[in-house]
Amino acid sequence: MKKKKGFFYNLWRYKALVLMGLPGIIWFICFFYIPVFANVVAFKDFRITPNGFIDSLVNSKWVGFDNFKFLFASKDAWLITRNTILYNVVFLALNLFFAIAFAIVMSELKNKRLVKVYHTMSLLPYFLSWVVISYFVYAFLSPDKGIINQWIVSNGGTPISWYTDPTWWPLIFVFLNVWKSLGYNSIIYYASVMGIDPTYYEAAMIDGATKWQQIKHVTIPQIIPMMSVLLIMNIGGIFRADFGMFYNVPRNSGALYQVTSVLDTYIYNGLTATGDLGMTAAAALYQSVVGACLLLIANFIIRRIEPDSALF
């Protein structure tokens, strides 16, 4: 009977791969797994002492779920939860649609040099900080000298006070999110489309399929497994809003909180305004736990429908 190799034997055998992955493993341990223990702050009336974090953590009073009760009893709990979920659902749907559409269009172009140019142009916004983008947005939406208000006034209209009127901001957020993430989101789908066996398209053309029919019956079914995996991972982050966009672009205007306040900005504003680490930690833990549950539920549903498309 063949002897089963042990853990340390495999560790030594694949030492080159282990060494390559070691920096990433250390990074995850230091910045993801060790900080998990600090979630106990969410269950304490955390008070900072002069002797450092550990002493503060040990000597702070245990309050159980009082921080969570205070969070859900506040008038903002429903608002920030609603905004976070609705924005992310819209972002998820539109990003999926436009990323796949852009990838398919790029795959149909015959001039590969143009494809590289278009991909590079679509990727540029992704590497811009939201702080930089906020200044570009302000150049367009400034109440006094904004480009859009100048155009409205030149056509006999009344200028819009963009940073006090919440009406247009949901559309602005949706546009900015899709514009910034289009190039990055489409890369994986483009690679998946380009990896489809050309014989499928040849067989479809022999059967008289039009270009749209080829996309509908060949391209999309072939990339469904990749769509499912990315969808599951994105659903896991549905309770995490893009802090940079929701905080910097509207310039943290109080008049816009009705449409700009999400979990991430609520946690930050609560921490800076009140210094209540216990309540903000409770909000962050609530955000993480619900996100993890959504990921597991989405993976379970997809595994029941199409096992090969599930994440695990």
* CA 57 to chain CA centroid, nearest Å: 31
174 is a domain residue: yes
Q: What is the CATH number of the domain that holds 186?
A: 1.10.3720.10
59 is a domain residue: no
274 is a domain residue: yes
Looking at the predicted structure, is the pLDDT value of residue 285 above 90?
no
Averaged pLDDT, 120-124? 91
85 is a domain residue: yes
For the record, the structure tokens of 191 come out as 């690679």
43 is a domain residue: no
**Per-residue pLDDT at 1:** 46
14 is a domain residue: no
302 is a domain residue: yes
Q: What is the mean pLDDT of the chain?
A: 87
Q: What's this model's pTM, rounded to 2 decimal places?
A: 0.83
Domain range holding 156?
Answer: 74-309
For the record, the structure tokens of 246 come out as 């929701």
C-alpha distances in Å from residue 146, one per residue of 48, 70, 135, 163, 176: 45, 41, 11, 12, 17
276 is a domain residue: yes
Q: How confident is the model at residue 78 (pLDDT cuts 50, 70, 90)?
A: confident
The per-residue pLDDT for range 229-263, each reduced to its tens digit, is 888 888 888 888 889 999 999 998 888 999 999 98
Cβ–Cβ < 8 Å for 217, 230? no
C-alpha distances in Å from residue 18, one per residue of 23, 32, 57: 9, 19, 35
* Distance of alpha carbon 43 from alpha carbon 277, whole angstroms: 10
* Structural domains counted in the chain: 1
